Amino acid sequence: MFRVLIIGYVWPEPRSSAAGSRMMQLIEVFLARNWQITFASAAQLSPHRADLTALGIAEMTVALNCDSFNNQVHQLQPDLVLFDRFFTEEQFGWRVEAVCPNAIRVLDTEDLHSLRHARELQLKQQLAAAPAGSPYYALPPATNASVTDAVQWISHSDTGLRELAAIYRCDLTLMISPVEMELLQQGCGVPASLLHYCPFLLDEPPVAEGSDFAQRQDFLSIGNFRHQPNWDAVLCLKNTLWPAIRAQLPKARLLVYGAYPPPKATALHNPREGFIVAGWVDDAAAAMRAARVCLAPLRFGAGLKGKLIEAMQNGTPSVTTPTGAEGMHGQLPWPGAIADNNADFVNQAVALYSDPGQWQQTRDRAAVLLREVFPRPALTAALQQRLDDLIADINGQRQRNIVGSMLRHHLHKSHQYMSQWIAAKNRG
């Protein structure tokens, strides 16, 4: 039986984050092939994690910087190892290669962390260039930089170079966004043979009927509070956007949902202002179907946004930024509105909330978008074929990836020696 080891930075939480949903989608692809799966993580067991054992998936707790991991993987003898982020590959990749050199190594980036960090830096640079006293949360979203500019930021950052190195060290990297595919291939020169486009794998039917305009009320914002772009969006709403929306809609409410709200988030709760910090919600889809408009003022970020997919699936128009919608709609019209400045964001939100005709027209776009951009059968078949091709020609793939071989030789040594030093120090 073909054995798969997935090494996760955290245990998958499909109800908390898009990354958790994405991981469960990949697991479903592997299960459909009757592959034997083990999921390993050094993270603490979380209350919102998926019940992997119910799916027949073995769970394995591992330790950082410890040779016990080598023994565990040697006993398991996986045929394929999936790392869920580049720093997971940094920590464990050299250990996998040491004990199971023939195992295929696949990286799932979730999103390009270095691109997200570059855009956050751009936002801070915009603040530095703004007139003195300009409020940080009144700044518009970071403009989508050209490929050349993005490459400059990534190539001069520690995170960018580390992420590129991990991509080269692996046999295949799964990319969730076509924009990031273009950035890596055209901007950074990463060979297409090392990358595979695999966005969200969404089930049919694509859009729930839900209730109509008159039966819905409230604005909604949702996102894991531990994810910095989400927290930034909440603060933008609280400090800039929501007061302007409420000035035009004095009876409106904004329900802010998300996993792991810290005290600084719950302190923003103010029913008199219609700003309701609701925190964790057991059924995010039901909450989305009850809301009239989803607000996602993401000023920086990368990858695809699960909250906006969920809005489409539940018939809820959304207002977001160019960064929020990036890579998600091709040439198709957005099922809601995309605003590149605060004034437009406010006006679009108010219009969608107030105009039944505009609300219905934008809502109807979702079904076509989801069907054409995220066709699960075709995307799943393409992923399965790519993995089959890799399995059949893994030696050829590695011979062609000379840069990867070089990086594994040199960089793995540095990670190896540091990890071994920590392990020896821990032994006392």
**DSSP-assigned letters across all residues of 131-181:** PTT--GGGSPPPP---HHHHHHHHHTSHHHHHHHHHHHHSSEEEES-HHHH
Q: What is the rounded CA–CA span in Å between residue 197 and residue 217?
A: 37
Q: The domain containing residue 96 runs over which residues?
A: 3-114+144-201+376-427
Q: Assess if residue 135 is contained within a domain.
A: no
Q: Assess if residue 33 is contained within a domain.
A: yes
Q: What is the rounded CA–CA span in Å between residue 131 and residue 41?
A: 46
Clarify whether residues 190 and 254 are in a common domain.
Answer: no
Q: 248-255, long-range: CB within 8 Å, 24+ apart, which pairs? A: 248/346, 248/350, 249/350, 249/353, 249/354, 252/218, 252/219, 252/353, 253/217, 253/218, 253/219, 254/218, 254/219, 254/220, 254/221, 254/295, 255/218, 255/219, 255/220, 255/221, 255/287, 255/291
Q: Which of 332, 350, 373 is the last residue of a domain?
A: 373
Clarify whether residues 251 and 175 are in a common domain.
Answer: no
Cis ω before 297 (30° cut-off from 0) = no
Give backbone dihedrals phi and psi of 59, rounded to 5 degrees, phi first. -110, 140
Parallel, antiparallel, or unpaired: how do β-strands 254-257 and 318-320 relate? unpaired
Q: List, in sequence order, every residue forming a beta bridge with 277; answer none if it has no partner.
A: 256
pLDDT at residue 205, rounded to an integer: 59
pLDDT at residue 237, rounded to an integer: 97
Q: What is the rounded CA–CA span in Å between residue 179 and residue 416?
A: 33
Q: Assess if residue 129 is contained within a domain.
A: no
CA of 169: how far to CAs of 164, 342, 348, 403, 410, in Å? 9, 42, 45, 8, 11
Clarify whether residues 367 and 403 are in a common domain.
Answer: no
Neighbours of 400 (CB within 10 A): 14
Per-residue pLDDT of the chain (428 residues; tens, 9 = 90+): 999 999 999 999 998 888 999 999 999 999 999 999 999 999 998 888 999 999 999 999 999 988 999 999 999 999 999 999 999 999 999 999 999 999 999 999 989 999 998 888 888 888 788 787 778 788 777 665 556 677 787 878 889 999 999 999 999 999 999 999 999 998 899 999 999 999 999 986 555 555 789 999 999 999 999 999 999 999 999 999 999 999 999 999 999 999 999 999 999 999 999 999 999 999 999 999 999 999 999 999 999 999 999 999 999 999 999 999 999 999 999 999 999 999 999 999 999 999 999 999 999 999 999 999 999 999 999 999 999 999 999 999 999 998 888 887 766 556 566 666 566 666 66
pLDDT at residue 122, rounded to an integer: 83
Q: Give 372's Cβ-side CA count (13 Å radius).
A: 13
Clarify whether residues 369 and 381 are in a common domain.
Answer: no
Clarify whether residues 95 and 150 are in a common domain.
Answer: yes
pLDDT at residue 386, rounded to an integer: 97
pLDDT at residue 362, rounded to an integer: 95
Q: Assess if residue 208 is contained within a domain.
A: no
For residue 143, give the amino acid letter: T
pLDDT at residue 422, rounded to an integer: 62
pLDDT at residue 298, rounded to an integer: 95
Clarify whether residues 328 and 389 are in a common domain.
Answer: no
Clarify whether residues 21 and 46 are in a common domain.
Answer: yes
Assign 318 to helix, strand or coil: strand
pLDDT at residue 113, rounded to an integer: 92
Q: What is the rounded CA–CA span in Å between residue 405 and residue 122?
A: 34
Q: Locate tokens 């989305």: which residue? A: 288
Q: Assess if residue 383 is contained within a domain.
A: yes
Parallel, antiparallel, or unpaired: how do β-strands 275-279 and 172-175 relate? unpaired
Q: What is the rounded CA–CA span in Å between residue 55 and residue 52?
A: 5
Give backbone dihedrals phi and psi of 39, rounded to 5 degrees, phi first. -110, 125
pLDDT at residue 149, rounded to an integer: 74
pLDDT at residue 45, rounded to an integer: 87
Q: Which of 373, 392, 417 is the last residue of a domain?
A: 373
Q: Assess if residue 236 is contained within a domain.
A: yes
Clarify whether residues 44 and 99 are in a common domain.
Answer: yes
Q: Assess if residue 335 is contained within a domain.
A: yes
Inter-residue contact 218 to 292 (CB < 8 Å): yes
Clarify whether residues 32 and 13 are in a common domain.
Answer: yes
Clarify whether residues 398 and 334 are in a common domain.
Answer: no
Clarify whether residues 385 and 417 are in a common domain.
Answer: yes
Residues 6+ away with beta carbon under 8 Å from 35: 1, 2, 3, 4, 80
Q: Which of 327, 347, 373 is the last residue of a domain?
A: 373
**Global confidence as pTM:** 0.91
Alpha-helix runs per DSSP H in 251-375: 263-266, 284-290, 306-313, 322-325, 342-354, 356-363, 365-373
pLDDT at residue 224, rounded to an integer: 94
CA of 90: how far to CAs of 96, 148, 156, 163, 346, in Å? 11, 27, 19, 9, 43
Give backbone dihedrals phi and psi of 346, rounded to 5 degrees, phi first. -65, -45
Clarify whether residues 369 and 402 are in a common domain.
Answer: no
Q: Assess if residue 13 is contained within a domain.
A: yes
Number of domains in the chain: 2
Neighbours of 61 (CB within 10 A): 12
For residue 331, the domain's CATH number is 3.40.50.2000
Inter-residue contact 174 to 107 (CB < 8 Å): yes
Closest CA to 378 of 208, 207, 209, 204: 204
